Amino acid sequence: MDIKKIKRISDLMYYATIIFAIIVIGKNYYDRWKLPEGVCPVNNNYGMIIFSIVLLIVSFVTTTFIDRKNKTSIISDKNEVKIDKPEQEEK
């Protein structure tokens, strides 16, 4: 797969994670108002919270993979031997 495609997928996954996490937080606040006192709304949304955390971790890992891949390609480009042509003297 091309690095640009992986980067785009990683970016989309990150944005989806942020949107999903905002939805989960909003649902927790909404559930807290509906539930009686002393009941934890997080227990009802535990699966969604875990899913958003997993999405964030996967996004982080793919971004780290892309950064390392780019860094190694830059380093390998710098280590290439370049042969310069001798400059011609002006007469």
- pLDDT tens, 12-71? 888 999 999 999 999 888 888 888 888 887 777 888 889 988 988 988 888 888 877 777
Q: What's the pLDDT at 20?
A: 92
Question: How far, in Å, CA of 29 to CA of 80, rounded?
Answer: 57
Domains of the chain: which residue ranges? Answer: 3-74
Distance of CA 90 to the CA centre of its chain: 54
| CB of 41 closer than 8 Å to CB of 80 | no
**Structure token pair of residue 25:** 């937080």
Q: What pLDDT shows up at residue 65?
A: 81
Average pLDDT in the 62-85 region?
66
Give the predicted TM-score (pTM) of the model. Answer: 0.64
**Contact predicate 10/45, CB 8 Å:** no
- Give the per-residue pLDDT at 2: 74
Q: Which of 71, 49, 62, 75 is nearest to 13 (CA)?
A: 62
Distances (CA, A) of 56 to 4, 20, 48, 59: 19, 10, 12, 5
Flag whether pLDDT at 74 surpasses 80. Answer: no
